[in-house]
Structure 1
Amino acid sequence: MARNMSSPAPFTPAPVSATQAPDSPRESESPPPPGLQGDLEMELLGLATALYNLGTTVVNDLTKEKDKPGGVAGKPVGIRVNEVINHLATLEEMSSSLDTMVPMQVLVDIDSSRNPMQLTKDRIERAATENQFMNGKIHAIDSYRKLLDEALVQNFPELGEYLMESSLHTATQSGEPIKVEEDASMLPNGV
């Protein structure tokens, strides 16, 4: 397996217009927030880029040291470290003017090497599953209520008027269309 020993070019993100988030998969749909929040996003992207460049520089220097012993002059690792420090210093300055709170669970998940996007996806899927389960329960209770009302009307015809009123009241609250059935005996002249 051959390894390319030439130094890689520093990572630079593709140019992004001012109305697009630089790392958004849906660039046209998610512009960066205005003001300080957008500046923070851009600074965090710069930090990520600087960390990536530092990592590739260190790996590249380690592979060169295997081939050429000695000679510390000209290594760009110090420059890359200074870039990271500058980004961190800028973030520290920005932090005094921010009041956004990050939930502790998010930080714990990131420290545990869990992808926040995957956690968000899992939580949304769990909420959707629980929603479907709850909708199933509601549907089961509604169908049971309808069966119970029918049985009560059949066995206690005098309750029919009250049960019909409660069914209409429940249907209007739930947003269901109200179905009114006409009795053939109620039509004039059997029409």
Structure 2
Amino acid sequence: MTRGNISPAGQQNAADSPRLSESPPPSGVQGDLELELLGLANALYNLGTTVVNDLTKEKDKPGGGGKPVGHRVNDVIQHLATIEDMSQHVTTMIPMQVLSDIDNARNPLQLTKERLERAATENQYMNGQIHALDSYRRHLDEVLVQTFPELAEFLPATG
């Protein structure tokens, strides 16, 4: 059973998202790279399931009968070689923190949410600082004009 809704076009939507669960890849080199990465993920999955299946089968059988593990490994190597070749044409830089977070199995959506919340908090703090400095500057200008009326022409009009 799959989670999600089927759109009018017959494509599945994620359960918590109004967008299609699989958007079309971008055009050009990045789209080709995305498709190759999906192929690599599929090849790695196939390799993993093949290894698990081989481990659960009769271990004492002589000969093995041409197990497909070598073929699966070659598929993974082929995808990695293709990605390496494609990397020469991609100039997009990925921050090391993003790669580190992915390596540590952190959810990219959660990371995005945390970073947006942090940016909003810092933005609010900075807006408060700007407002406080603006208020202080206006008050200072008013006091300077009251104390030294001859400076009024050099200070911005207080209002």
Could you state the TM-score of these two structures normalised by the residue count of structure 1? 0.55
Equivalent of 2:68, from 70, 76, 99?
76
Q: Deviations over 1:109-133 (max 9, x none)?
A: 444x243724444333322221111
2:51 aligned with 1:61, yes or no? no
Computing the radius of gyration over CA atoms, which structure comes out larger, 1 or 2? 1
Bigger mean CA offset, 82-91 vs 120-129: 120-129
Deviation at 1:164, TM superposition (A): 8.9
- Cα distance change of structure 1 residues 64 and 167 upon mapping to structure 2, 3 Å threshold: farther
- Cα distance change of structure 1 residues 145 and 95 upon mapping to structure 2, 3 Å threshold: closer
Equivalent of 1:89, from 68, 78, 81?
81
SS for the counterpart of 2:92 is coil
2:23 aligned with 1:38, yes or no? no
CA distance in 1, matches of 2:39, 2:21: 21
CA distance in 1, matches of 2:65, 2:144: 94
Counterpart in the other structure of 1:5: none
Q: How many residues align?
A: 141
Name the % identity. 65
CA distance in 2, matches of 1:158, 1:144: 19
CA distance in 2, matches of 1:62, 1:162: 88
Structure 2 gap ranges (5+): 1-8, 10-16
Aligned amino acid, residue 51 of structure 1: L
Contact conserved, 2:142 with 2:158, CA < 8 A, in 1? no
2:113 aligned with 1:130, yes or no? no
CA distance in 2, matches of 1:99, 1:121: 26
Could you state the TM-score of these two structures normalised by the residue count of structure 2? 0.64
Aligned amino acid, residue 62 of structure 1: L
Bigger mean CA offset, 126-135 vs 93-102: 93-102
Equivalent of 1:49, from 37, 42, 48?
42
- Cα distance change of structure 1 residues 147 and 99 upon mapping to structure 2, 3 Å threshold: closer
CA distance in 2, matches of 1:109, 1:39: 24
Aligned amino acid, residue 57 of structure 1: T
Q: Deviations over 1:86-131 (max 9, x none)?
A: 21122122223333344444444444x2437244443333222211
2:112 aligned with 1:115, yes or no? no
CA RMSD after TM alignment = 3.6
